[in-house]
Amino acid sequence: MLHNDQLSQWDRENFFHPSTHLAQHARGETATRIIRTASGCHIEDREGNKLLDAFAGLYCVNVGYGRQEIAEAIADQARELAYYHAYVGHGTEASVTLSKMILDRAPDHMSKVYFGLGGSDANETNVKLIWYYNNILGRPEKKKIISRWRGYHGSGLVTGSLTGLELFHKKFDLPLAQVIHTDAPYYFRRTDAAQSEDQFVAQCVASLEELIAREGADTIAAFIGEPVLGTGGIVPPPAGYWDAIQAVLRKHDILLVADEVVTGFGRLGTMFGSTHYGMTPDIITIAKGLTSAYAPLSGSIVSDKIWKVLEQGTDENGPIGHGWTYSAHPIGAAAGVANLKLLDDLNLISNAGSVGAYLNQTMQEALGDHPHVGEIRGEGMLCAVEFVKDRDSRTFFDANDKIGPQIAAALLAQGVIGRAMPQGDILGFAPPFCLTKAEADEVVAKTVTAVNTVFQG
């Protein structure tokens, strides 16, 4: 719905929106949607339209909207102490408690958590720590970072480079030279239709080995990957992928960063994607699910192996030259403590696993045989429907047809939010963990209607 009232006008005149077609928005060709309130899995806009948010904001409001426990914790913290910094050993009860809660939940070999504000800055921190690590170890040439095409790691300078999506590079002079990309583990989009999943994994491994051989292992510091590709298409890895990739990394002394901004704290029905897939990362990136987005907070969890070298570095060079004013912000930390407690108290991770499996299964039953559905895939509370022009030949639609965005719009018109993923005709779902089976049924039924509306006109 387009508006020409005061708020819409201020919006168009003053607000530089992220990830938006700026010119169309400024000209008033796209909607200004102003969200007023939210509860559970539903958001409500200023017209009073209630929408079932089956993407949990940007897959971040994991515990659902309107949780008073977190709001109260934030308010209490703001009244008691809205801010103090975390430099030179300072902290708050909330930030110290949250560190312990995170390490209690993280894989055993992890040692400490550095706090940032969002996923992008956490991954910027990770790259700096990795460069520092190799400098302290006397390996100044070992600096390049390998990322995957279709990976999403943020939109800063290094992190926008790590992100393997063209839109994030084009006209921004990215990727930076220190970042190199390897194949996405996207079996459905394999070029050789006859290839088995095992053969496809072997090909991903071979192409990683080739890249390492071409660049020289002594120039490569780390490999970063999301346990399940997120923004690149919601693609769980083929069986055996992480084992095979980790064997290569170990052979060449290349660190592994697990970017768990989406998967951390329960989205796969387990606490961390790393443990879900048997990954042993050197660093884990966390953000979204840490506070369920009630306040901005992210983290870099570093392993014992990394921590020891960082300690050595500060013994040799003095305090670590890295920090943000808002690192470990007390309000974010208070939100994090309340959020992790709520996940436990309401058994929400287990619900994410069981209702997520139900959502995937019912979506499969409803649309699995549709002639324009190529694949339905997911893990935990993540689900994606990928559309194709022709199923048998796996022919994709022209991007200009905007099939994915059309289906997302037809879904929205019925009051359900799914996300047209940015590369390919892929409709993504990542609902809050409190989704009920009845709400999952509604998402599926309305997706079927949306699909039929777009394909049958």
Q: What residues make contact with ligand PLP under the rule CB under 6 A?
A: 58, 118-120, 123, 152-154, 226, 230-231, 259, 261-262, 287
Per residue, the 3-state secondary structure of the chain, as one string, reads CCCCCHHHHHHHHHCCCCCCCHHHHHHCCCCCCCEEEEEECEEEECCCCEEEECCHHHHCCCCCECCHHHHHHHHHHHHHCCCCCCHHHCCCHHHHHHHHHHHHHCCCCEEEEEEECCHHHHHHHHHHHHHHHHHHCCCCCCCEEEEECCCCCCCCHHHHHHCCCHHHCCCCCCCCCCEEEECCCCHHHCCCCCCCHHHHHHHHHHHHHHHHHHHCHHHEEEEEECCCECCCCCECCCCCHHHHHHHHHHHCCCEEEEECCCCCCCCCCCCCHHHHCCCCCCEEEECHHHHCCCCCCEEEEEEHHHHHHHHHHHHHHCCCCCCCCCCCCHHHHHHHHHHHHHHHHCCHHHHHHHHHHHHHHHHHHHHCCCCCEEEEEECCCCEEEEECCECCCCECCCHHHCHHHHHHHHHHCCCEECEECCCCCEEEECCCCCCCHHHHHHHHHHHHHHHHHHHHC
Closest approach of Cβ 123 to ligand PLP, in Å? 6
- Taking the least distance from each CB to ligand PLP, the nearer of 265 and 364 is 265
Closest approach of Cβ 413 to ligand PLP, in Å? 25
Q: Specify the pairing of strand 50-53 against strand 416-417.
A: parallel
Closest approach of Cβ 6 to ligand PLP, in Å? 30
Closest approach of Cβ 417 to ligand PLP, in Å? 16
- Taking the least distance from each CB to ligand PLP, the nearer of 165 and 349 is 165
Closest approach of Cβ 35 to ligand PLP, in Å? 18
- Taking the least distance from each CB to ligand PLP, the nearer of 226 and 439 is 226
Rounded Cα gap, residues 334 and 449, in angstroms: 42
Chain residue whose CB lies nearest ligand PLP: 119
- Taking the least distance from each CB to ligand PLP, the nearer of 119 and 424 is 119
- Taking the least distance from each CB to ligand PLP, the nearer of 60 and 407 is 60
- Report phi then psi at 396, rounded to 5: -95, 160
- Taking the least distance from each CB to ligand PLP, the nearer of 287 and 366 is 287
Closest approach of Cβ 298 to ligand PLP, in Å? 6
* Side chain identity, residue 132: Y
Closest approach of Cβ 273 to ligand PLP, in Å? 10
**Residue 82, burial from CB neighbour count under 10 angstroms (0-12, 13-18, 19+):** exposed
Q: Specify the pairing of strand 50-53 against strand 35-39.
A: unpaired
Closest approach of Cβ 19 to ligand PLP, in Å? 10
- Taking the least distance from each CB to ligand PLP, the nearer of 230 and 374 is 230
- Taking the least distance from each CB to ligand PLP, the nearer of 19 and 456 is 19
Closest approach of Cβ 47 to ligand PLP, in Å? 28
Closest approach of Cβ 13 to ligand PLP, in Å? 25
Rounded Cα gap, residues 155 and 19, in angstroms: 10
The span from the first CA to the last CA of the chain, in angstroms, equals 21
Closest approach of Cβ 283 to ligand PLP, in Å? 13
- Taking the least distance from each CB to ligand PLP, the nearer of 62 and 364 is 62
- Taking the least distance from each CB to ligand PLP, the nearer of 154 and 233 is 154
298 closest CA partner among 308, 288, 306, 307: 288
- Taking the least distance from each CB to ligand PLP, the nearer of 290 and 412 is 290
